[in-house]
Chain A
Amino acid sequence: MFLTISTTGTPERPATDLGFLLHKHPDHAQAFATSYGTAHVVYPEASARRCTAALLLEVDPVALVRRGRGRGRGGAPDAALAQYVNDRPYAASSLFAVALGGVFSSAMKGRCKARPDLVDQPLPLRIEVPVLPAAGGPALVRALFEPLGWTVTAEPVPLDAAFPSWGDSRYVRLVLEGDQRLARALCHLYVLLPVLDDAKHYWVASDEVDKLLRAGEGWLPGHPEQVLITRRYLARRWSLTREARERLELVRLAESDDTGVEEIDNAVPDDTPDEIAAAAADGTAGESAAGRTAAEGTVVPDTADTPHAPLAPGGAGVPGTADTAVALAVQRRAALLDALRTAGASRVLDLGCGQGKLVQELLKDPRFTEVVGVDVSMRALAAAARRLRVEPSSWPTGPAAAAGERRTGRVRLLQGSLAYTDGRLKGYDAAVLCEVIEHLDPPRLPALEHAVFGAARPRTVLVTTPNAEYNVRWESLPAGRVRHADHRFEWSREQFGTWARAVAARHGYEVRTAPIGPDDPEVGPPTQMAVFRRTEQTKGAQAA
């Protein structure tokens, strides 16, 4: 909520020219009303040698929360903004950028009637932002500003001096120094403050793409981080409706448990590039953010649910194989389809369908006459519905709603849970559990086992799960870590085989396991699959 812009001058070119450029007189304190509070401009120093303008935004935290009222509880879909306790009154956030753009709009556009000659002159500028929220840390701050010609100082702000073990906060104290045109410098701040803040505000206007193009003119197209800048900047927009529609119940459950919503609403990764591509009309973001996400460390290898599962660990190919270009997720789907065809299945359940990639593949083959995607996450189902063009209104959740379920052609999407038996799942030829079991706590596996093998009882069941032994081959995966933050366990081939055989024996199935991906002679394949086939009802019928 605070920054200073300083310049130095000479008697011929006094520093106080800054006042002309900013359209704000150095000797007056001036106040401007903005949407979220009052912005003040004062000059702590104003001499020919040195002139500093300070912009202070007094955010009204109560108004901030109450503004969003009327959209469900508390209104604002951004969980942080629904809180009276938030950093907006203190940090140079995207709100601050909005105020900056308002207060200095003429300056940003490079207009100066009084001294038009000044506009195109680079000035020796020093911009200080004491508290800049920086998702990505000092490194990203430098990566964003240095290519623009700034000398960057970015020092992390400690979280709490009383608790040194907590480490640094997400804020940095930023100092930019360099010879820049003022209008351009303001544009840098206007675009990059929200990008670093990376918070999502639903009130961002619908012409945001135009604004970005305008403010980025002359410097954004050639910026090495252009993709990241565009994606983050526009991310604030597309998240708007999704937030409001899908997350609020989970937000409340997270709040009631003092946890962050991202801890429980994590069934679908947050950045879905195809939507960003759709949002960016000119396609600047279209060239896939896949590479970026990996660099930001939000994605670990081999997540079936991730729309952009990396091709291979560490950006390299799968070691020692020719078909390195085939993503593991693609190979997994191919293997599952093969197994389903071999089994002669035509009515198939995808249990834990996530965003519906496998369902989409299945629908390409007409032999699969009915495909049912089941997931416990409403957000995942919403993503699947978009992908499959299934009407994204409401999904039936219980058997009572069976008549109103969403169905388009051969596909059906249901909210369901394998922690419960579910009559709707009976009578299918095959069920696929693709990268699902490892997302359950081990004590809850018996319930899944019963729901699938005891109650639903399809003729064929396909289960895939990571092979933990293979993890040593993922260069980017620290030793002892699992591949995805939500994996509750990862099994070796031995462990998986033991489980699969026991399940088969308990429920009258026979089972074989098969590798997916290159079968490393030492550690096996990256993914392992078990193919269960129901045997005839061998155990003698018996009444109690």
Chain B
Amino acid sequence: MTGTAAEPAASSARRVLGVTDLCLVVLVGASGSGKSTFARRHFRPTEVISSDFCRGLVGDDENDQDATRDAFDVLHYIAGKRLAAGRLTVVDATSVQSDSRRQLVRLARAYDVLPVAIVLDVPEEVCAARNAARADRAGMPRRVIQRHTRELHRSLRHLEREGFRRVHVLRGPDEVAAAEIVRERRFNDLRHLTGPFDIIGDVHGCSSELEALLARLGYVDGRHPHGRTAVFLGDLVDRGPDSPGVLRRVMSMVAAGTALCVPGNHENKLGRWLHGRKVQQTHGLTETIEQLDREDEGFRAQVRGFVDGLVSHYVLDGGRLVVCHAGLPEKYHGRTSGRVRSHALYGDTTGETDEFGLPVRYPWAEDYRGRAAVVYGHTPVPNASWQNNTICLDTGAVFGGRLTALRWPERELVDVPAERVWYEPARPLRPEAPGSGDGRPLDLADVAARRAVETRHAGRITVREENAAAALEVMSRFAIDPRLLPYLPPTMAPTATSRRDGFLEHPADAFAQYAADGVARVVCEEKHMGSRAVVLICRDADVARERFGAGAGAGAGAELTGALYTRTGRAFFDDPAVTEEILRRVRTAIGQAGLWEELDTDWLLLDTELMPWSLKASGLLRTQYAAVGAASGAVLPAALAALEAAADRGVDTLELLARQRDRARDAAAFTDAYRRYCWPTEGLDGVRLAPFQILASQGRNRAVLPHDAQLALLDRMVEHDTSSLLQTTRRLYVDTGDEASARAGVDWWLEMTGRGGEGMVVKPVEAMARTGQGRLVQAGIKCRGREYLRIVYGPEYTRPAHLERLRSRSLGHKRSLAIREYALGLEALDRLAEGEPLWRIHEAVFAVLALESEPVDPRL
């Protein structure tokens, strides 16, 4: 339809057509009614897809009616792509048949945008005259236009029923010419509002708690002195004692522009009741109806209007924030459809019900990868916690929990406790399964089979199936409650193999390795002669229960205040009373040193060494080390006596005899070496605990704190211990580039190991270091003493022939493993610090355990 556009008739009144800024505009009109001209005038060329153009694409002829079917496939495909990308799209086809329109309505719904119809109702003669003027359409029979017009008139009344949410009918060429399109922002698009916001979870008629929370947030009579905006996440009503009071407060704030509100499923139902529909008076609606019955009709009408006007969700703050009642996957953000509204109000349910008859919810948040933070309510959780940039603020105020608000963009949580249990929950708020306090219990899919864990410091780390299988067995059968197990320590690689005579490991190589990695300053820490122990310690049992869920269902009766576990997550002591006594002593020292206040925390996670080694490894010591000592001690004298007797007879056994004497000497040295790890303990007398790193405290990953600062804090802890449990970690700082400093480090090591010490661990003082290329540097490198290594490589390893063969050990896999486990450990601590749900923390912890079963030389 080129060249026949009618100029606007001066007599026509200007006609304004509102069109939502993201929608599917369907132009409806007979051939020759002026659709293409209209589209060109009001929309960008890229926004318009015409059926003629598509016919041309597939059939080389814009009027080839045989190509119609394929042309519409192409049209729907292009329109679909545009709508998926969130772009307004105009379909320029006759669309006079309900069948063709139905397909377009379906397309709009599929992409959750509104279908809008603009009808160009132009007299048949006008259309015919226009077609006649066009060479390519001059031959179109008149009856075609007649049919179009007939079908159009038949359709007019049904357009809204067909699903078009807005229908504009332009009658006659004059009205068409006078029309003006105004793009209207979607109701849910409030990106221009930047707050700051205070987003408040499900209130459920808890008027008093709401007033308390608003006061805590700084609101005075519904208005914040700094102009903050409250955002209510719906479910204002039902169950609680004063739904009208809550409505009155929220409605006045919304009216005054100091609050926004999205509807919850409870408002939706109340709205239907207010409109006189029949609804089941369950889930606390009865209470609301009784309360509203005491109000006047005017108030009820006001509520009805308020509820009718609520928009299912809002996109706020430049698109960084989405608020709605039940959560929303990214593809629905800013969209408008029944499906979006349903998800926003009810959540995406799987159709199943759980043991309490409640709908099982599809865990959309687990898969959420969107840029916008989604803040929602609807499902009561014991604690609000972030998961994949989403957070649920329904902390069950009406069920005796708390009423919670999130400050945005500060991301701070503010809450007030419920005054009482206003309504008995159908399901216990805090089931006892681990993790149920943070959204859901642990699931096998979080840990099993081959999988990759995303870490912030080393990217994706893969766990192989056989390693996960072994870890599953150990974690399930032997580990402590996963809630008390937020971290497992990484393995540590030894220093590069030394070429120095008589040494397999030597600190000079460790200094050189760090110097090569660009680490200038290292700390050498004495390697304690005990067993690795992670200590989770809470200020009291309440903290342990509330923060970590400890003690729930323990059955033992005793209240736990933390945990003391090994590097595979097993409890150090079978008797919880022993653990508690150690925790008590540590807690006293922490308190005396004033560290709770200084670190602003109610709990600490510590990396420590528990001594003596014989305390835990007594089985190993007896079956392996002492057994070798006993065997060598008993056999060598007998063998030597026999050889000496033979020598006395003149048999040539001198060389053999000399070797056996060496052997006896090495065996004695070996026995000395393992004996240093054993001392008798009576109860906790003789037990020592050497903390060497603070791993985490409330909201903080402390493993990134430089070691000098770490050790200063820990020294104070040790100083304030009066129970002689805690032991300090001796250390020496070395500049890797300074020869004298490095020599001092070597001398210190020689002196320490010469006295039978196990050796030392060299670490970058800055704790977390990266190479020039950005690669993570080893968190620590161990240099084990010459004598100590006898209990690793055997009594006779120091003989030159043995040493030479042992030097061919390969460190690559061990180093890679150490880095991967280190990154996973940091990840677990970061997730813990950020209050992520248990399954996310456990995922990283489990991966550390799984990696520990990788095939690496265990002597490294």
A residues near B (Cβ < 8 Å) are 1-2, 4, 27-29, 40, 42-46, 52, 54, 56, 58, 61-62, 66, 72-74, 80, 82-87, 89-91, 128, 130-131, 133, 157-160, 162-163, 165-166, 169-171, 173, 248-250, 252-253, 255-260, 263-264, 267, 376-378, 394-401, 415-424, 439-447, 449-451, 453-455, 457, 506-508, 537-544
Q: How far is the CA of A85 from the CA of B671 in the complex (A)?
A: 11
Whether A74 pairs with B858 at a CB distance below 8 angstroms is: yes
Query: Is B52 among interface residues, defined by CB-CB distance under 8 A?
Result: no
Whether A398 pairs with B433 at a CB distance below 8 angstroms is: no
Q: How far is the CA of A44 from the CA of B568 in the complex (A)?
A: 52
Whether B651 pairs with A421 at a CB distance below 8 angstroms is: no
B residues near A (Cβ < 8 Å) are 202, 235, 265, 282-283, 346, 353-359, 378-380, 394, 426, 428, 431-434, 436, 440-451, 465-478, 480-482, 491, 531, 552-556, 566-568, 570, 613, 616-617, 619-620, 622-632, 634-636, 638-639, 641-646, 649-653, 656, 659-660, 663, 667, 670-671, 675, 678, 680, 791-797, 802, 805-806, 849, 852-859
Whether A1 pairs with B651 at a CB distance below 8 angstroms is: no
Partner of B445, one of A84, A133, A259, A400: A400
Q: How far is the CA of A61 from the CA of B680 in the complex (A)?
A: 31
Whether B356 pairs with A86 at a CB distance below 8 angstroms is: no
A-B contact pairs, 26 of them (CB 8 A): A4-B638, A29-B652, A40-B656, A73-B855, A84-B793, A157-B631, A158-B630, A162-B678, A165-B680, A253-B474, A258-B620, A397-B465, A398-B445, A398-B451, A398-B465, A401-B465, A421-B444, A422-B443, A422-B444, A423-B443, A443-B480, A446-B432, A449-B432, A543-B265, A544-B358, A544-B394
- For B635, the chain A residues whose CB sits under 8 A away are 1-2, 90-91, 130-131
- For B476, the chain A residues whose CB sits under 8 A away are 376, 417-420
Whether A417 pairs with B444 at a CB distance below 8 angstroms is: yes
Query: Contacts A43-B646, A249-B467, A540-B426 hold; do A508 and B346 have CB atoms under 8 A apart?
Result: no
Whether A541 pairs with B651 at a CB distance below 8 angstroms is: no
Query: Which residue from chain B places its CB closest to the CB of A425 in the assembled complex?
Result: B444
- For A394, the chain B residues whose CB sits under 8 A away are 465
Whether A264 pairs with B477 at a CB distance below 8 angstroms is: yes
- For A446, the chain B residues whose CB sits under 8 A away are 431-434, 552-553
Whether A90 pairs with B631 at a CB distance below 8 angstroms is: yes
- For B641, the chain A residues whose CB sits under 8 A away are 44
- For B450, the chain A residues whose CB sits under 8 A away are 398, 400
Query: Contacts A44-B646, A61-B796, A259-B619 hold; do A87 and B858 have CB atoms under 8 A apart?
Result: no
Query: Contacts A45-B649, A90-B631 hold; do A420 and B447 have CB atoms under 8 A apart?
Result: yes
Whether A253 pairs with B471 at a CB distance below 8 angstroms is: yes
Query: Which residue from chain A places its CB closest to the CB of B854 in the assembled complex?
Result: A252
In the complex, number of A-B residue pairs with CB atoms less than 8 Å apart: 350
User: How distant is B384 from chain A, measured CB to nearest CB, in Å?
Assistant: 14
- For A418, the chain B residues whose CB sits under 8 A away are 476
Q: How far is the CA of A52 from the CA of B641 in the complex (A)?
A: 12
- For B652, the chain A residues whose CB sits under 8 A away are 29
Q: How far is the CA of A400 from the CA of B468 in the complex (A)?
A: 13
Whether B357 pairs with A58 at a CB distance below 8 angstroms is: no
- For B634, the chain A residues whose CB sits under 8 A away are 90, 130-131, 157, 171, 173
Whether B858 pairs with A399 at a CB distance below 8 angstroms is: no
Partner of A29, one of B628, B646, B797: B646
Q: How far is the CA of A447 from the CA of B346 in the complex (A)?
A: 28
Whether A163 pairs with B553 at a CB distance below 8 angstroms is: no
Besides the contacts A54-B639, A253-B853, A543-B265, what 14 more A-B pairs have beta carbons closer than 8 Å? A43-B651, A56-B642, A83-B794, A84-B797, A87-B631, A130-B635, A163-B678, A249-B853, A252-B858, A253-B568, A260-B620, A399-B448, A419-B434, A420-B442
Whether A454 pairs with B355 at a CB distance below 8 angstroms is: yes
User: How distant is A500 from chain B, measured CB to nearest CB, in Å?
Assistant: 14
Whether B651 pairs with A544 at a CB distance below 8 angstroms is: no
User: How distant is B824 from chain A, measured CB to nearest CB, in Å?
Assistant: 15
Please indicate which of the listed interface residues A422, A441, A442 has the most CB atoms of chain B within 10 Å of its own CB. Answer: A441
Q: How far is the CA of A54 from the CA of B467 in the complex (A)?
A: 48
Whether B355 pairs with A507 at a CB distance below 8 angstroms is: yes
User: How distant is B355 from chain A, measured CB to nearest CB, in Å?
Assistant: 5
Q: How far is the CA of A472 from the CA of B630 in the complex (A)?
A: 39
Q: Rank and list the top 3 A-B pairs by shortest CB-CB distance, nearest first.
A: A398-B449, A249-B470, A398-B448
Query: Which residue from chain A places its CB closest to the CB of B631 in the assembled complex?
Result: A90
User: How distant is B310 from chain A, measured CB to nearest CB, in Å?
Assistant: 18
Partner of A544, one of B378, B628, B632, B659: B378
Whether A257 pairs with B566 at a CB distance below 8 angstroms is: yes
User: How distant is A438 from chain B, measured CB to nearest CB, in Å?
Assistant: 12
User: How distant is A452 from chain B, measured CB to nearest CB, in Å?
Assistant: 11
Whether A447 pairs with B469 at a CB distance below 8 angstroms is: no
Please indicate which of the listed interface residues B378, B475, B794 has the most CB atoms of chain A within 10 Å of its own CB. Answer: B794
Please indicate which of the listed interface residues A44, A165, A253, A263 has the most CB atoms of chain B within 10 Å of its own CB. Answer: A253
- For B852, the chain A residues whose CB sits under 8 A away are 252-253, 256
Whether B469 pairs with A42 at a CB distance below 8 angstroms is: no
- For B451, the chain A residues whose CB sits under 8 A away are 398, 400
Whether A84 pairs with B631 at a CB distance below 8 angstroms is: no
- For B466, the chain A residues whose CB sits under 8 A away are 249
Query: Which residue from chain B places its CB closest to the CB of A442 in the assembled complex?
Result: B555
Q: How far is the CA of A393 from the CA of B394 in the complex (A)?
A: 48
Q: How far is the CA of A23 from the CA of B18 in the complex (A)?
A: 113
Partner of A72, one of B265, B616, B680, B855: B855
Q: How far is the CA of A3 from the CA of B44 in the complex (A)?
A: 100
Partner of B853, one of A171, A250, A454, A541: A250
Whether B791 pairs with A85 at a CB distance below 8 angstroms is: yes
- For A396, the chain B residues whose CB sits under 8 A away are 449
Query: Contacts A74-B858, A253-B849, A543-B346 hold; do A4 and B642 have CB atoms under 8 A apart?
Result: yes
Query: Which residue from chain A places its CB closest to the CB of B431 in the assembled complex?
Result: A450
- For B631, the chain A residues whose CB sits under 8 A away are 87, 90-91, 131, 133, 157, 169, 171
Query: Which residue from chain B places its CB closest to the CB of A256 in the assembled complex?
Result: B852
Whether A159 pairs with B622 at a CB distance below 8 angstroms is: yes
Whether B636 pairs with A543 at a CB distance below 8 angstroms is: no
Whether A542 pairs with B624 at a CB distance below 8 angstroms is: no
Q: How far is the CA of A439 from the CA of B476 in the complex (A)?
A: 10
Whether A423 pairs with B445 at a CB distance below 8 angstroms is: yes
Whether A260 pairs with B623 at a CB distance below 8 angstroms is: yes
User: How distant is B328 from chain A, measured CB to nearest CB, in Å?
Assistant: 16
Q: How far is the CA of A45 from the CA of B474 in the complex (A)?
A: 56
Whether A259 pairs with B620 at a CB distance below 8 angstroms is: yes
Partner of B639, one of A2, A62, A84, A457: A2
Whether B442 pairs with A250 at a CB distance below 8 angstroms is: no
Whether A166 pairs with B626 at a CB distance below 8 angstroms is: yes
Whether B857 pairs with A540 at a CB distance below 8 angstroms is: no
Q: How far is the CA of A543 from the CA of B234 in the complex (A)?
A: 14
User: How distant is A293 from chain B, measured CB to nearest CB, in Å?
Assistant: 21
Query: Which residue from chain A places its CB closest to the CB of B790 in the assembled complex?
Result: A85
Q: How far is the CA of A133 from the CA of B394 in the complex (A)?
A: 66
Q: How far is the CA of A52 from the CA of B630 in the complex (A)?
A: 25
User: How distant is B527 from chain A, measured CB to nearest CB, in Å?
Assistant: 15
Query: Which residue from chain B places its CB closest to the CB of A92 in the assembled complex?
Result: B635
Whether B477 pairs with A159 at a CB distance below 8 angstroms is: no
Query: Which residue from chain B places its CB closest to the CB of A73 in the assembled complex?
Result: B855
Query: Contacts A160-B630, A450-B436 hold; do A445 and B555 have CB atoms under 8 A apart?
Result: yes
Whether B805 pairs with A85 at a CB distance below 8 angstroms is: no
Partner of B355, one of A83, A159, A398, A537: A537
Partner of A415, one of B379, B443, B469, B805: B469
Whether B472 pairs with A542 at a CB distance below 8 angstroms is: no
Whether B449 pairs with A401 at a CB distance below 8 angstroms is: yes
Q: How far is the CA of A163 from the CA of B681 in the complex (A)?
A: 12
User: How distant is B818 from chain A, measured CB to nearest CB, in Å?
Assistant: 12
- For B792, the chain A residues whose CB sits under 8 A away are 84-85
- For A257, the chain B residues whose CB sits under 8 A away are 566-568, 570
Query: Which residue from chain A places its CB closest to the CB of B638 in the assembled complex?
Result: A130
Whether A252 pairs with B355 at a CB distance below 8 angstroms is: no
User: How distant is B464 from chain A, measured CB to nearest CB, in Å?
Assistant: 10
Partner of A444, one of B380, B481, B568: B481
Partner of A397, one of B443, B469, B646: B469
